[in-house]
Amino acid sequence: MANVTEAHGVLQGDYVTLRRMRVDDAAITFGWRQAERARMLNAGAANVEQQANWIAGRPASEYNYIIELNNGTPIGMLSLVGVDKTNRHAETGRFLIGEEEAAKGVPAAVEAMKLLYELAFDELKLVRVHGTVASENKLMLKWQKYLGMKEEGRLRQHYFIDGSWQDAVCLGLLEEEYRSVSLPRMAVLMKVGAKPA
Amino acid sequence: MLTRDGVLEIIFRALNNLNDEMGPDDKFDVTPTTKLFGADATLDSLALVSVIVDVEGDVSSALDRSISLTDDRAMSQKISPFDDVQTLLNYIMELVNEA
């Protein structure tokens, strides 16, 4: 297991580090949200100032991270929100690799998700995480299901994206599925990604 | 029997499916030498998973038996099956040729 402790606002992996998002990340995160790849996400801020205000307004209970390569290059973002310590569940989301070229050849997305799951299941002792993905975001749906999430339902016409309605596909992952499916598959993808060509 | 050409067709189909999901700036050429994952990679991990899922499904259906591209055997290969189209094709043909 990577060195996962959130005590200092940092989750340290072998390839990437998750550090808490700051207001001065507004410009770069706003830029990522404007990119083609982010078209399947919910509409975000209209400008950098709004993005800064949004970041500043995040409640302390949310874990909003910037994904950095271990050379310090920020490449994306990822969050764990809605942490319910009574019912021991939370929602993953805001997952975006914004610097695709910098991330190529590095198992960055996989390790970032692994670090977030380690925070959720190992440190926060949650029993379940869940999230929603737009129904036309087929790559993300395949990816989340491959890594263990199960489809639990649909919210019909939940998102208005690119001028049309899309369902929200509700996905969930239980702790035992994280340990039996997610961790082995993440290990494989990290090993594949780490092999020199 | 699944032939080498048949497996190549399955790999190309998976890569073309992936291209269909890509934005205009992210589309890539699908050729027998397309680099997949690792250094100088064409794919990131989201894209690689899409290819794995599609290829595993289509090859398993064609063989009428389940194959895995991400088990311990695949990971212990000296050359990663996911370096490029040829290494993936060669590895799948190993699996295909096992009775």
Chain B hits for A183, CB-CB cut-off 8 Å, are none
Q: What is the pLDDT of residues A78-110, one digit of tens each?
A: 999 999 999 999 999 989 988 888 887 788 999
Q: A112 CB near a chain B CB, below 8 Å?
A: no
Number of domains in chain B: 1
**How many Cβ atoms are within 10 Å of A180's Cβ, its own excluded?**
12
Beta-sheet pairing, A10-12 with A3-4: antiparallel
pLDDT of A187 strictly over 70: yes
Provide the edge-to-edge strand list for the sheet that holds A164-174: A3-4, A10-12, A16-20, A63-69, A74-84, A89-97, A128-134, A164-174, A150-161
Q: Which residues of B touch A104 (CB under 8 A)?
A: 41-44
Helix (H/G/I), strand (E/B), else coil: A70:
coil
Q: How confident is the model at residue B1 (pLDDT cuts 50, 70, 90)?
A: confident
Question: Which residues in chain A are closer than 8 Å to B37, comparing Cβ atoms?
Answer: 105, 192-193
pLDDT of amino acid A1: 47
Q: Do B75 and A110 touch (CB under 8 A)?
A: no
Question: Least CB-CB distance to A192: which of B47, B50, B80?
Answer: B80
User: Any idea what the Cα angle at residue B80 is, between residues B79 and B84, rounded to 5°?
Assistant: 100
Residues of B whose CB is below 8 A from A186 = none
Q: Average per-residue pLDDT in chain B?
A: 90
Range of the domain at A177: 3-194
Q: Output the domain CATH number for residue B72.
A: 1.10.1200.10
- Taking contacts as CB-CB distances below 8 angstroms, the residues of chain B near A197 are 35, 38-41, 80, 83-84
pLDDT at B98: 84
Q: How many domains does chain A have?
A: 1
Are B44 and A196 inside 8 Å of each other by CB?
Answer: no
Average confidence score pLDDT of chain A: 90
Could you tell me the CA-to-CA distances from A3 to A10, A123, A163 in Å, in that order?
9, 11, 43
- B82·A139 Cβ contact <8 A: no
Domain span including residue B44: 4-96
* pLDDT > 90: percent of chain A: 71
pLDDT score, position A58: 92
Percent of chain B past pLDDT 90, that is, above it, reads 59
Q: What is the DSSP letter of A169?
A: E
Query: Does A38 or A99 have the greater pLDDT score?
Result: A99
ipTM score for this prediction: 0.84
Question: Sorting pLDDT into bands at 50, 70 and 90, what band is B22?
Answer: confident
Residues of A in contact with B43 (CB under 8 A): 104
The contact set of B with A (CB < 8 A) is: 18, 21, 23-26, 35, 37-50, 52-53, 70, 74-75, 80, 82-84
Contact A102, A48 (CB under 8 A): no
Q: What does the pLDDT look like over A145-186, one tens digit per residue?
A: 999 999 999 999 999 988 899 999 999 999 999 999 999 999
Q: What's the CATH number where A164 sits?
A: 3.40.630.30
What CA–CA distances, in Å, run from A108 to A10, A94, A170? 15, 15, 24
B75·A188 Cβ contact <8 A = yes
Q: Identify the weakest region by mean pLDDT among A25-34, A66-75, A114-123, B71-80.
A: B71-80
| pLDDT score of A133 more than 70 | yes
Task: Give the best-scoring range by mean pLDDT among A180-194, B46-60, B71-85.
Answer: B46-60
Q: Is the pLDDT of residue A197 over 50?
A: no
pLDDT higher at A117 or A105:
A117
pLDDT, mean of residues B32-45: 82
Question: Rounded to 5 degrees, what angle do the CA atoms B88, A133, A62 make?
Answer: 115
Nearest alpha-carbon partner for A54 in A45, A64, A67: A45
Chain A residue with minimal CA distance to B43?
A104
Among chain B residues, CA nearest to A191: B75
